[in-house]
Structure formats: C-alpha cells, structure tokens
Amino acid sequence: MKLARTLAVVALAALAAGAAAQDKPAPAGLEKATFAGGCFWCMEPPYDVLPGVVSTTSGYTGGQKRNPTYEEVSAGITGHAEAVQVLYDPKKVSYEKLMEVFWRNIDPTVKDRQFCDVGTQYRTAVFYHTPEQKRIAEDSKAKLEKSKAFKAQIVTPVLAAGDFWPAEDYHQDYYRKNPVRYKFYRTGCGRDARLEELWGKPAR
C-alpha cells in the first residue's frame, strides 16, 4: 500500500508539472506563437534559424485530454494535433514573418494530413494567442487565397489557442539529436519535394 501511495503521489506531481508547463506565460518582452504543420519534428528547424526566435517546443494542442502522450496522440484518439510553439522577441521578428515561414513549410490545401502522414493529428492550423495575432493570421490567409497560388482551396483554419502540452523530451530538437533518421524520414515522406512543388525552391 505504501508503494502504491508513493507511486500515486509521483504520478500526480508529474501531472501537475505538465499542467504548469503548458500554462506557463511567455517571459517579459517575449511572445508565443503556435502552429500545427504536420510532423512537429519538421516544424522546428525553419523557426530555429530565424533571427528573433528564442526557442521552439514540439507538443500537442487542440484536443480534449489533459497531458496526452505521443502514443495517444499518434493513435488519433485525443483530438490533438502535433504542433510547435515558438517563443519569439517581437522587437526582432514580426508575427507576419512567422506566418510567412509557416505557410512555406506546409501544404495548406489538404485536410487532416501532411505529406505521408495521415490523420487529424497531422492537420494544419494557426493557433492565435492574441486578437492581434488573429488579425494578422486571417489577413495573411486572405492574401494567400487572393493570390490564387494554388488550384485547390486553402483549408488551414485560424483558431484560438488552447492548452499546449509539450511533447516528450526525445521529440524536442529531434532533427539535431537524430540527424540521419530525421533526414531519412523527411525525404521518405516527400515533404521537401511537395514543398518545392507548391512554393518553389527555397531561397539560399
């Protein structure tokens, strides 16, 4: 009984720590932006190289369950989407720029999938944290729609941000920790080939 009680206390402490982590406000002078763009491994790199971005965190948002695990999310049973939360300095990089990077790293014309990954957990979405972010995101989407860059309709929604649950440690900076596996996955999934088809070759 004593062991069971100890394990229960540890589990509750872990749950509380997870809740605190996802509710933590941005430090003074910084802001948060949250984007779902399919596999979160692939959404960290384009933001990490952007001047003004302080950090990126892979995680889960848009679902019902508190403190979801990767296994639950990847099975599509929690309603969450894989997402990346960007902590940035608005004096050094604008939300408009973050939106530009977002569009150019996703296929906004498909629903509930990205590249080789299929399911609602791989849907795309912009999750705004402030009325200003909402305005900018909606304006950015409207401009993209007006440009008629694609034959298909843009289906990426702009939604209010909710709880964000950081993913397990091994998912954070995956492209740095496992560069060979990351490159194999990204290439095999056809991500870069499709992005080039949609947006053209990236600027060097």
Of 19, 31, 187, give the one whose Cα is nearest residue 116: 187
Chain centroid offset of residue 66 CA: 17
Residues 6 or more apart from 73 whose CB is under 8 A from it? Answer: 60, 63, 80, 82, 121
Tokens, residue 150:
């694609």
Told to judge if 116 belongs to the known catalytic residues of this protein, a careful annotator would answer no
For the chain, strand residue ranges (E) read 31-37, 53-61, 81-88, 113-114, 117-118, 124-128, 158-160, 164-166
Sign of the CA dihedral with 104 first, then 168, 86, and 83 last: positive
Question: How far apart are the C-alpha atoms of 86 and 94, rounded to whole Å?
Answer: 12
Catalytic residue among 39, 42, 116, 189: 39
Q: Which residues are catalytic?
A: 39
